[in-house]
Amino acid sequence: AQSVAQPEDQVNVAEGNPLTVKCTYSVSGNPYLFWYVQYPNRGLQFLLKYITGDNLVKGSYGFEAEFNKSQTSFHLKKPSALVSDSALYFCAVTYNFNKFYFGSGTKLNVKP
């Protein structure tokens, strides 16, 4: 069973508009959720995480994500997209920090 899913291969948004990159996870214990961004030919950069506490977490570069237990989702959002946000975004979940499950990735295209 897939532990984390990113239903959109690609998201297109105009610069200045809000963006959302979706992520849902399979219920199996208490999930800890992460978002990473990958630029071409680079490793992954950590954006934000939900471990416990406030369901709305704020991260790097103005990104935020909301942990929604009832919908088993952890969508990544930003109020105003920048062209420089164009990259590949990965959602990841772990239940014990011994193994992380990554989504298939969503390519974000921000057009000027």
Among 53, 70, 99, 112, binds another protein (CB under 8 A): 99
User: Between 41 and 70, whose beta carbon lies closer to another protein?
Assistant: 41
The answer to whether the CB of 61 falls within 8 A of the CB of 53 is no
22 φ/ψ angles, rounded to the nearest 5 degrees: -90, 150
Regarding 104 and contact with another protein (CB under 8 A), the answer is yes
**Least distance (Å) from another protein to the CB of residue 17?**
25
DSSP structure string for 13-73: EETTS-EEE--EE--SSS-EEEEEEE-TTS-EEEEEEE-SS-SEEE-GGG-EEEEETTTTE
Site string for another protein, 22-51 (x = CB under 8 A): ----------x-x-x----xxxxxx--x-x
Among 90, 93, 108, 110, binds another protein (CB under 8 A): 90
**Least distance (Å) from another protein to the CB of residue 11?**
15
74 φ/ψ angles, rounded to the nearest 5 degrees: -150, 70
Token pair belonging to 84: 């420089």
Binding site for another protein (CB under 8 A): 32, 34, 36, 41-46, 49, 51, 90, 92, 97-100, 102-105
